[in-house]
């Protein structure tokens, strides 16, 4: 068995697993022996801002919120590209400017489409 070419791999795998699990086990053992758990209903409460939770978390959100979020994200990412573009703007050629224009126009087209669809009117 020791002659199997996979033996060293398996031994290494077990060692790696032990390397990860041993500290966890030690911590668990330490807590088990020395640190008695004292749970209570306040400590086990889900909500963590000092107030008592009331009501249900299963409430409905407007789907328009997510559309707003996605549109914001598009222009957030656009800003990331526009900033380095603006920094090196003077040393760029016409091709680079045209490429950037296409990129911006594509995003503006998306905004125009969302606008026309009435996504931006919040009521």
Partner 1 sequence: MDNRLKIELERQGIVATTLQELYNWGRKNSVWPMQFGLACCAIEMIATTMARYDLARFGAEVFRSSPRQADLLIVSGTVTKKMAPQVVRLYNQMAEPRYVIAMGACAISGGPFKQGYNVLKGIDRYIPVDVYIPGCPPRPEALIEAFIALQKKIAAQPLTGEGRPRHLDADAPGEFPVPAFGEHDLEPPANESVWHAPLTQIQGT
Which is nearest to 119 in space by CA: 83, 86, 71?
71
The C-alpha torsion from 76 through 78 and 81 to 87, rounded to 10°, is -90
Residues 45-64 within binding reach of partner 1 (CB under 8 A)? 45, 48-52
Q: Residue 122 contacts by C-beta under 8 Å, 6 or more apart in sequence?
A: 64, 68
- Of 12 and 27, nearer to partner 1 (C-beta) is 27
- Of 11 and 45, nearer to partner 1 (C-beta) is 45
Which residue of 6, 34, 65, 122 would you call a contact of partner 1, by CB under 8 A?
34
> Which range, of 35-43, 54-62, 94-102, 113-121, touches partner 1 by CB under 8 A?
35-43
| Per-residue tokens: 105 | 């126009």
Binding positions for partner 1, rule: CB under 8 A: 34-36, 38-40, 42-43, 45, 48-52
């Amino acid at each position: 068995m020791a002659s199997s070419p996979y033996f060293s791999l398996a031994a290494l795998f077990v060692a790696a697993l032990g390397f990860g699990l041993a500290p966890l086990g030690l911590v668990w053992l330490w807590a088990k022996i020395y640190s008695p758990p004292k749970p209570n209903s306040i400590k086990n409460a889900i909500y963590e801002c000092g107030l008592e939770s009331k009501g249900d978390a299963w409430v409905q959100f407007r789907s328009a919120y997510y559309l707003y979020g996605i549109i914001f994200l598009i222009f957030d990412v656009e800003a990331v590209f526009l900033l380095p573009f603006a920094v090196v703007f003077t040393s760029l050629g016409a091709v680079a400017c045209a490429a950037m224009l296409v990129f911006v126009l594509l995003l503006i087209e998306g905004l125009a489409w969302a606008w026309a669809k009435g996504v931006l009117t919040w009521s």
